Amino acid sequence: MTVNEALALILAWVVGLCLGAIFFGGLWWTVRNGLSSRQPAFWFLGSLLLRSGIALAGFYLVASHGFEPLLLCLLGFTVARLVVTQMTRTPGETRPVQKASHAP
């Protein structure tokens, strides 16, 4: 692997991070502001179309460079989801613990 190939793969990962930040950050923003809107359906549908369009266009551009950059882009997208989820969590919020269900 040459230096240029390694830089291209790192760039694909960074593009995935940016796409994920736009997608999931936009989702968080929409939920916070869309619920108080007079027309929440307009905001949610518009946000979905815009966020999905940006993400799909980015994935399409990265996929034109091969399978490996696409995988790293998807990995970056997933990492961004985890980061945005952690950053937007309200202080003191914890996930509910699910109890194991037992057969009768």
Report the pLDDT value the prediction gives residue 1, as an integer from 0 to 100: 76
As a whole number, the mean pLDDT across the chain is: 90
In a domain, 59, yes or no: yes
Q: Could you tell me if residue 4 is inside a domain?
A: no
Domain that residue 73 falls in:
17-87
Give domain status of residue 79, yes or no: yes
Total count of domains within the chain = 1
Model confidence at 69, in pLDDT bands (50, 70, 90)? very high
Range in 15-29, 38-52, 84-98 the model is least confident about: 84-98
Asked if residue 54 is part of any domain, the answer here is: yes
Q: Give the pLDDT of residue 104.
A: 58
Residue 82 lies in a domain: yes
Q: Given phi > 0 = left and psi -120 to 50 = alpha, else beta, which region is 39?
A: beta
pLDDT tens readout for residues 78-103: 999 999 999 988 777 666 656 656 65
Counting beta carbons within 10 angstroms of the beta carbon of residue 30, is it exposed (0 to 12), middle (13 to 18) or buried (19 or more)? buried
Q: Show Cβ contacts of residue 17 under 8 Å, excluding neighbours closer than 6 positions.
A: 76, 77, 79, 80
Domain assignment present for residue 93? The answer is no
Is 67 inside any structural domain?
yes
Six-digit token string for 104: 């009768």
Residue 24 lies in a domain: yes
